């Protein structure tokens, strides 16, 4: 705990704010004014660096670019591997774990050690990994890197410790799962096939042990060759040479037949009694054409052949559809007896797996469900019902249903908001799901003690908004709304939005939500804003629309003298944008000029009829920016709404507009230059006309196109400016700092967004003040609140804080009628700017503290339902809640602290004197992308996320660095656009186009994380194998007497070549030991582990010694025999 005291007298010489080269203090810091001010600031800061630690908590959504699937039928947990090396392990709702291979290599295959709490992953870098799932955070125990061969297929028999590994060369190696070393036993491809065969059989595509005899291994080669290898006899029992390539093989549980899927869309059934030709060949989707030929079909990529006790067996496969039907969707085919059911999928099938009642492959399988992993979805089909319904997925796998374009995160929400959103959202849920319970039900999860209401909001490219319950590190959809419903559907050929945005004209750019008043506001890509109110009742409403002309003329000439002649805000200057209302200027083709140039029309057409709206969020007001002289409106860069004031403010790169949404009027519409009046800190030059005018359409231009960034980098002498400008161009959707004529104007398509999503380079510009003066100055942040608009103000009044891209902070005081009836009739007036403050870089965030260091929340209106039935006994009055700066500061007097953060520095000002108390330069080599004042551990701090991937926290008000972690070494545009801090030391971002990653920077939450996570492994007794009966056991082979240790162990097979594969010990055992190592039990566990390791090493030494002795004895024996043989021979007999 540390106390900070600052005496205001002589502050300009003693405070850090007076640092050389800081342009802020020249105009911001000042001597004490006549207004009452506290004599000293006495803030007890409780936060220290030990309160902060950064770690990932949980990942939600669908695994991006999935590649592999595995299921443990006893533990009932599912694993999904991805192309980026990630592994998601799913159980019952709440049991959701994400692991990542450090190499980042794609996961080729996953194999559970069934009911052992372990998982084997095979990666594209030819490495095998063994994961320990008996801890809440799985870790790698062993790795085995193949040096000379590429892994193509793996198979681990149930209750075996020997893993079969097939390679691209056609060889089959055997790995001991316990020690993760190779056995000396190898099945070479040239031994598996006949010596007379002249061609290589190709890579191994299938390995499985016979259900009849574990000593028989079935090897499938890509070319169509199938070999059953006798592991004991080290020879082939039979070889099949088929002329179609093989994709997969599946056994009948009795071990007498197996089925293969082929590249020509056929299924072959083979009987072990006669392997010269297939017992049956079928083309499930190949019809016989008129010329008696089969129509060509696509390959059947996988087949599963599963038996049932009381019905015909199931044959389930993917692919195999005929080529001639264009546009057919990917399908899963279920053949049950003579019935063939084709289930069409929305996305290509990556992998599927049939779930069966038994883990034993030599018992009747009894399939009950099939898990289908698609490119962008996971579905589970119920096989026990004839219509094959799907199960309702309890995981949030549809975050990416439409690409996510923005996020918002609210921790510690009002407790009533989640139930009410859920109750309204539940009315629109889909039906027709299977009535059975979700079959992936493994693991255990309990609601932790450290939980509070949390809501995540995602905005999407199709204009939809989703509210998610994010409490207790889970994620469940609450409510979905579609903003596109307020607009008319554009008719083909005359979509005005298409000229601004070729695709997704309703895409969400930013959202603003007040949980207390339940007011919700969205900003869309087509320069539109929609304001929503919440209601529990449906209603018939007429959507009110306002149109705003927020665009400057191209030949503006701005000079200081002009500004001095027109300092008043109440009379906008000749260059100020003008408001227009839809009923006065309807959007029609008549709005075009005689030359055909669009003017004074919006991008989208609002519905002009009364519409029936269901309970939930109902549109109250639509605001649209207009085309001006053939130029589309620039994107909206900032937004703030205040329910207590009834005001909504927004800005773009041209200026600022303020709307009174209670009276449905525009009360201010000004260019950024006119906002200064006579206080403009810059001497601006004449602005040249814009020659290449285009709509840099925000999220639509968010192509992350490396070409455009490279072009800017090449054309600019300082690559720092160019990369930063390109980054902000894409992030905010406007050319903020210059009219970059060479910027790429390619239209943006969400569907292939990720193919162009690249990281941006770091900015190296030292100060935003070095940017040319002939630039547009965007309004980058806005904040309503009770403050002091002028230095001599005695009492706080409603104010609007405005931050710009040139680091300027403007305060606009407002006069709002207090009486409810007057508020609905009298106009709100906005006065002359009373303050101009300066920072380095674009202003990102405002926040206010009282003089004791506590956060001052903006005032709000308590929610009331406008559609509720009228109660004659109660007057429906607005109930406002104000947090006045002076209300809690009797001991400290009037005044408050204003925290201002820009992309390069943070400052704390004392209001109303506007003295700069503290300043901290956050970064010189990069720039801040996101900054928020958040509450952590019953205190507040400033959290920042930089473009170079650093996450930082600063104390308040002293701005001491508390944490600085290089979290994301390479930050891309997706993360920059979606990163969001919230209270409780939490944050989130979109880690991939389909996944949300939540992190915490609170030490307390890191400590409690183990308790909050689910357990993947639960002790379950392995089901007993069925009694096979005497005759079956006698005639069915000696499967149970097969001892793999005798064949594959080092004593029998010897050691594999060291150059073939390299063993890499993992950290899983160490992590597990760290968790256990607490107190005496931990010490005992450590001692036991050390003894075990020592005993293991001694055992290995003993084995090596025994081997050496055996080898020496054998050598002695051979030498003795040779001596006896040669003893009586003459020299000429040799």
Distance CA 94, CA 854 (A): 35
* Residue 157 and residue 114 in contact, taking contact as beta carbons nearer than 8 Å: no
Q: Quick: pLDDT tens for 737-773.
A: 333 333 333 334 444 444 444 444 333 333 333 334 4
pLDDT of amino acid 230: 92
| Selected residue with higher pLDDT from 996 and 774 | 996
Tokens encoding 375:
């490119």
* Residue 352 and residue 318 in contact, taking contact as beta carbons nearer than 8 Å: yes
* Residue 104 binned pLDDT confidence (cut-offs 50, 70, 90): very high
* Residue 612 and residue 639 in contact, taking contact as beta carbons nearer than 8 Å: no
pLDDT of amino acid 55: 93
pLDDT of amino acid 571: 36
Instruction: Map 963-1027 to HEC letters.
Output: EEEECCCCCEHHHHHHCEEECCCEEEEEEECCEEEEEEEEHHHHHHHHHHCCECCCCCCCCCCCC
pLDDT of amino acid 111: 96
Q: State the pairing for strand pair 950-955/829-830.
A: unpaired
* Residue 525 and residue 509 in contact, taking contact as beta carbons nearer than 8 Å: yes
* Residue 404 and residue 702 in contact, taking contact as beta carbons nearer than 8 Å: no
Least confident of 150-154, 437-441, 770-774, 871-875: 770-774
Sheet holding 636-642, edge to edge: 636-642, 647-652, 655-660, 665-671
Distance CA 434, CA 366 (A): 18
CA angle 1100, 1101, 1106 (to 5 degrees): 95
Those residues whose C-beta lies under 8 Å from the C-beta of residue 795, and which sit 6 or more positions away, are 886, 894
* Residue 60 binned pLDDT confidence (cut-offs 50, 70, 90): very high
**Phi-psi region for residue 819, left (φ > 0), alpha (ψ -120 to 50) or beta?**
beta
pLDDT of amino acid 141: 94
Q: State the pairing for strand pair 544-549/616-625.
A: parallel
pLDDT of amino acid 716: 36
Is 168 a residue whose pLDDT tops 90?
yes
Averaged confidence pLDDT in the chain: 79
pLDDT of amino acid 1078: 37
* Residue 466 and residue 458 in contact, taking contact as beta carbons nearer than 8 Å: yes
Overall size of the chain counted in residues: 1134
What sign does the CA torsion over 238, 243, 248, 254 have? negative
Please state the rounded mean pLDDT for residues 770-799.
Answer: 80
CA angle 1047, 1050, 1053 (to 5 degrees): 45
From residue 471, alpha-carbon distances to 379, 398, 979 in Å are 25, 18, 19
Distance CA 554, CA 125 (A): 57
Is 1119 a residue whose pLDDT tops 50?
yes
pLDDT of amino acid 585: 39
Is 149 a residue whose pLDDT tops 70?
yes
Least confident of 8-22, 120-134, 1082-1096: 8-22
pLDDT of amino acid 1131: 52
Is 735 a residue whose pLDDT tops 50?
no
Those residues whose C-beta lies under 8 Å from the C-beta of residue 691, and which sit 6 or more positions away, are 739, 741
| Selected residue with higher pLDDT from 300 and 197 | 300
Q: Quick: pLDDT tens for 372-391.
A: 999 999 999 999 998 999 99
| Selected residue with higher pLDDT from 2 and 851 | 851
Please state the rounded mean pLDDT for residues 867-896.
Answer: 63
pLDDT of amino acid 886: 46
For residue 666, which phi and psi values (nearest 5 degrees)? -90, 120
Identify the bridge partners of residue 444 per DSSP, sorted by sequence position: 1015
| Selected residue with higher pLDDT from 1004 and 578 | 1004
Q: Quick: pLDDT tens for 495-516.
A: 444 454 457 899 999 999 999 9
pLDDT of amino acid 1058: 74
pLDDT of amino acid 44: 85
Q: Show contacts of 183-189: CB within 8 Å, 24+ apart.
A: 183/1048, 183/1049, 183/1050, 183/1053, 183/1056, 184/1050, 184/1053, 184/1054, 184/1055, 184/1056, 185/1047, 185/1048, 185/1052, 185/1053, 186/1056, 187/217, 187/219, 187/229, 189/221
Could you say which DSSP state residue 23 is in? T
pLDDT of amino acid 688: 42
* Residue 1 and residue 43 in contact, taking contact as beta carbons nearer than 8 Å: no
* Residue 1134 binned pLDDT confidence (cut-offs 50, 70, 90): low
pLDDT of amino acid 1093: 61
For residue 252, which phi and psi values (nearest 5 degrees)? -75, 145
For residue 580, which phi and psi values (nearest 5 degrees)? -135, 150
* Residue 680 and residue 673 in contact, taking contact as beta carbons nearer than 8 Å: yes
Distance CA 660, CA 645 (A): 8
pLDDT of amino acid 1106: 74
| Selected residue with higher pLDDT from 289 and 329 | 329
pLDDT of amino acid 40: 58
pLDDT of amino acid 1061: 82
State yes or no: cis peptide before 684, omega within 30 of 0: no
Q: Quick: pLDDT tens for 428-453.
A: 777 788 999 999 999 998 876 667 89
Sheet holding 367-374, edge to edge: 349-356, 367-374, 378-382
Please state the rounded mean pLDDT for residues 818-827.
Answer: 86
CA angle 396, 397, 399 (to 5 degrees): 80
Please state the rounded mean pLDDT for residues 312-325.
Answer: 88
pLDDT of amino acid 726: 55
Please state the rounded mean pLDDT for residues 880-894.
Answer: 57
Nearest Cα residue to 740 out of 773, 785, 693: 693
Distance CA 941, CA 957 (A): 8
pLDDT of amino acid 263: 93
Please state the rounded mean pLDDT for residues 172-177.
Answer: 94
* Residue 1120 binned pLDDT confidence (cut-offs 50, 70, 90): confident
For residue 344, which phi and psi values (nearest 5 degrees)? -80, 140
3-state secondary structure of 483: helix
Please state the rounded mean pLDDT for residues 971-996.
Answer: 91
Nearest Cα residue to 363 out of 73, 639, 650: 73
pLDDT of amino acid 1057: 74
Q: Quick: pLDDT tens for 626-676.
A: 988 888 899 999 999 999 999 999 999 999 999 999 999 999 998 888 888
* Residue 564 and residue 458 in contact, taking contact as beta carbons nearer than 8 Å: no
| Selected residue with higher pLDDT from 1120 and 884 | 1120
Is 733 a residue whose pLDDT tops 70?
no
| Selected residue with higher pLDDT from 769 and 1032 | 1032
Least confident of 123-137, 263-277, 547-561, 968-982: 547-561
pLDDT of amino acid 427: 79
pLDDT of amino acid 793: 83
DSSP secondary structure string for all residues of 923-957: -SSS-EEEEEEEEETTEEEEEEEETTSEEEEEETT
Could you say which DSSP state residue 272 is in? T
* Residue 565 and residue 574 in contact, taking contact as beta carbons nearer than 8 Å: no
pLDDT of amino acid 898: 94
* Residue 528 and residue 545 in contact, taking contact as beta carbons nearer than 8 Å: no
pLDDT of amino acid 835: 73
* pLDDT above 70 coverage of the chain, percent: 75
pLDDT of amino acid 1090: 59
Those residues whose C-beta lies under 8 Å from the C-beta of residue 772, and which sit 6 or more positions away, are 737, 738
Tokens encoding 907:
């400052």
Helix (H) or strand (E) holding 260: strand 257-262
Is 544 a residue whose pLDDT tops 50?
yes
pLDDT of amino acid 685: 53
Q: Quick: pLDDT tens for 573-608.
A: 333 444 444 443 333 333 444 445 667 888 899 998
Taking each continuous run of H as one helix and of E as one strand, the counts in the chain are 17, 65
* Residue 708 and residue 694 in contact, taking contact as beta carbons nearer than 8 Å: no
Please state the rounded mean pLDDT for residues 476-489.
Answer: 92
Could you say which DSSP state residue 590 is in? G
* pLDDT above 90 coverage of the chain, percent: 50
* Residue 1066 binned pLDDT confidence (cut-offs 50, 70, 90): confident
* Residue 101 and residue 129 in contact, taking contact as beta carbons nearer than 8 Å: yes
Query: What b/e sequence results for 450-488 when a residue is b if at least 16 CB atoms lie within 10 Å of its CB, and e otherwise?
Result: eeebbbbbbbbbbbbbbbbbbbbbbbbbbbbbebbbbbe
pLDDT of amino acid 1113: 79
3-state secondary structure of 753: helix
pLDDT of amino acid 942: 96
Please state the rounded mean pLDDT for residues 694-720.
Answer: 37
Distance CA 1050, CA 356 (A): 35
Helix (H) or strand (E) holding 280: strand 280-282
Helix (H) or strand (E) holding 534: strand 528-535
pLDDT of amino acid 19: 35
Distance CA 228, CA 192 (A): 9
Nearest Cα residue to 780 out of 670, 911, 640, 661: 640
pLDDT of amino acid 703: 36
Is 686 a residue whose pLDDT tops 50?
no
pLDDT of amino acid 492: 59
pLDDT of amino acid 1029: 56
* Residue 433 and residue 83 in contact, taking contact as beta carbons nearer than 8 Å: no
Integer-rounded Cα radius of gyration of the chain: 35
| Selected residue with higher pLDDT from 40 and 1101 | 1101
Is 986 a residue whose pLDDT tops 60?
yes
């Amino acid at each position: 705990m540390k106390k900070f005291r600052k005496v205001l007298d002589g502050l300009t010489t003693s405070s850090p704010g007076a640092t050389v080269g800081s342009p802020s203090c020249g105009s911001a810091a000042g001597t004490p004014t006549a207004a009452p001010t506290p004599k000293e600031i006495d803030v007890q800061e409780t936060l220290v660096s030990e309160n902060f630690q950064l770690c990932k908590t949980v990942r939600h959504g669908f695994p991006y670019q999935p590649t592999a699937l595995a299921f443990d039928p006893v533990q009932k947990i599912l694993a999904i591997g991805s192309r980026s090396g990630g592994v998601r392990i799913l159980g019952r709702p709440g049991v959701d774990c994400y692991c990542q291979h450090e190499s980042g290599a794609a996961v080729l295959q996953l194999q559970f050690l069934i009911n052992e709490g372990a998982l084997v992953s095979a990666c594209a870098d030819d490495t095998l990994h063994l994961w320990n799932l008996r801890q809440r955070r799985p870790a790698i125990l062993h790795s085995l890197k193949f040096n000379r061969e590429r892994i193509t297929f793996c198979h681990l028999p149930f209750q075996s410790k020997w893993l079969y590994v097939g390679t691209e060369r056609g060889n089959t190696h055997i790995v001991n799962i316990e020690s993760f070393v190779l056995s000396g036993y190898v099945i070479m491809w040239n031994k598996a096939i006949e010596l007379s065969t002249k061609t290589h059989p190709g890579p191994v595509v299938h390995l499985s042990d016979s259900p009849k005899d574990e000593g028989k291994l079935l090897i499938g080669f890509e070319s169509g060759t199938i070999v059953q290898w006798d592991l004991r006899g080290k020879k082939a029992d039979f070889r099949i040479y088929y002329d179609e390539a093989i994709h997969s093989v599946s056994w009948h549980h009795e071990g007498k037949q197996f089925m293969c899927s082929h590249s020509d869309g056929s299924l072959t059934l083979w009987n072990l009694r006669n392997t010269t030709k297939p017992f049956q060949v079928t083309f499930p989707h190949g019809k016989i054409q008129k010329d008696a030929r089969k129509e060509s079909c696509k390959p059947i990529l996988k087949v599963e052949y599963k038996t049932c006790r009381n019905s015909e067996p199931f044959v389930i496969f993917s692919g195999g559809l005929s080529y001639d039907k264009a546009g057919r969707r990917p399908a899963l085919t279920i053949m049950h007896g003579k019935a063939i059911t084709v289930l069409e999928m929305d996305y290509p099938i990556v992998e599927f797996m049939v779930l069966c009642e038994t883990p034993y492959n030599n018992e009747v399988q009894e399939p009950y469900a099939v898990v289908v992993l698609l490119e962008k979805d996971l579905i589970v089909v119920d096989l026990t019902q004839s219509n094959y319904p799907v199960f309702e997925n309890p995981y949030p796998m549809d975050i990416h249903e439409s690409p996510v374009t923005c996020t918002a995160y609210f921790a510690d929400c009002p407790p009533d908001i989640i139930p009410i959103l859920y109750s309204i959202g539940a009315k629109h849920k889909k039906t027709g799901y299977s009535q059975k319970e979700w079959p992936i039900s493994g693991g255990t999860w309990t609601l932790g003690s450290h939980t509070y209401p949390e809501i995540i909001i995602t905005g999407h490219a199709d204009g939809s908004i989703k509210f998610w319950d994010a409490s207790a590190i889970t994620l469940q959809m609450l409510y979905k709304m579609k903003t596109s419903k307020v607009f008319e559907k554009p008719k083909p050929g005359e979509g005005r939005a298409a000229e601004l945005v070729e695709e997704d004209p309703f895409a969400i750019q930013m959202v603003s939500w007040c949980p207390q008043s339940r007011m919700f506001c969205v900003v869309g890509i087509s320069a539109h804003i929609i304001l929503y109110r919440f209601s529990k009742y449906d209603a018939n409403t007429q959507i009110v629309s306002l149109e705003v002309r927020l665009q400057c003329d191209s030949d503006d000439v701005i000079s200081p003298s002009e500004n001095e002649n027109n300092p008043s805000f109440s009379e906008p200057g000749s260059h100020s944008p003008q408001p227009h209302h839809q009923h006065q200027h309807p959007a029609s083709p008549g709005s075009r000029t005689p030359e055909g140039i669009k003017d004074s029309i919006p991008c989208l057409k609002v519905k002009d009829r009364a519409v029936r709206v269901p309970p939930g969020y109902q549109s109250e007001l639509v605001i649209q920016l207009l085309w001006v002289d053939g130029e589309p409106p620039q994107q909206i860069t900032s937004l703030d709404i205040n329910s207590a004031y009834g005001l909504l403010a927004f800005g773009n790169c041209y200026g600022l507009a303020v709307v009174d949404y209670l009276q449905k009027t525009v009360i201010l519409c000004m260019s950024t230059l006119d906002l200064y009046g006579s206080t403009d800190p810059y001497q601006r030059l004449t602005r040249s006309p814009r020659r290449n005018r285009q709509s840099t359409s925000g999220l639509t231009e968010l192509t992350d196109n490396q070409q455009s960034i490279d072009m800017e980098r090449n054309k600019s002498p300082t690559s720092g400016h160019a990369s930063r400008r390109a980054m902000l161009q894409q992030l905010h959707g406007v050319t903020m700092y210059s009219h970059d004529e060479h910027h790429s104007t390619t239209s943006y398509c969400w569907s292939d967004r990720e193919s162009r999503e690249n990281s941006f380079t770091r900015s190296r510009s030292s100060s935003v003040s070095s940017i040319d003066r002939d630039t547009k100055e965007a309004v980058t942040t806005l904040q309503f609140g009770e403050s002091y608009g002028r230095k001599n103000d005695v009492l706080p009044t409603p104010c609007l804080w405005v931050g710009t891209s040139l680091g300027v902070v403007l305060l606009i005081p407002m006069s709002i009628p207090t009486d409810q009836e007057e508020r609905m009739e009298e106009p709100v007036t906005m006065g002359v700017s009373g303050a101009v403050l300066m920072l380095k870089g674009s202003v990102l965030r405002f926040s206010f503290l009282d003089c004791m260091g506590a956060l001052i929340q903006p005032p709000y209106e308590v929610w009331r339902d406008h559609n509720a039935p009228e109660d004659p006994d109660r007057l429906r009055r607005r109930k406002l809640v104000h947090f006045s700066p002076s209300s809690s500061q009797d001991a400290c007097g009037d005044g408050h602290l204003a925290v201002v953060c820009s992309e390069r520095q943070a400052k704390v000002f004392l209001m109303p004197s506007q003295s700069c108390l503290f300043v901290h330069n956050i970064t010189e080599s990069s720039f801040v992308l996101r900054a928020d004042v958040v509450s952590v551990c019953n205190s507040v701090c400033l959290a920042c996320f930089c473009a170079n991937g650093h996450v930082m926290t600063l104390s308040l008000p002293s701005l001491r660095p508390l944490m600085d972690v290089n979290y994301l070494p390479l930050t891309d545009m997706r993360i920059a656009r979606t990163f969001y801090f919230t209270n409780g030391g939490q944050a989130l971002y979109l880690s991939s186009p389909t996944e949300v990653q939540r992190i915490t920077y609170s030490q307390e939450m890191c400590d409690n994380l183990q308790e909050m996570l689910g357990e993947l492994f639960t002790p379950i007794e392995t089901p007993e194998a069925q009694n096979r009966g005497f005759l079956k056991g006698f005639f069915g082979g000696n499967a149970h007497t097969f001892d793999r240790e005798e064949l594959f162990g080092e004593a029998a097979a010897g050691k594999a070549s060291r150059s073939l594969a390299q063993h890499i010990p993992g950290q899983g055992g160490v992590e597990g030991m760290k968790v256990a190592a607490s107190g005496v039990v931990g010490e005992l566990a450590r001692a036991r582990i050390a003894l075990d390791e020592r005993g293991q090493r001694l055992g290995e030494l003993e084995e090596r010694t025994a081997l050496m002795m055996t080898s020496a004895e054998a050598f002695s024996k051979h030498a003795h025999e040779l001596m006896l043989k040669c003893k009586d021979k003459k020299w000429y007999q040799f």
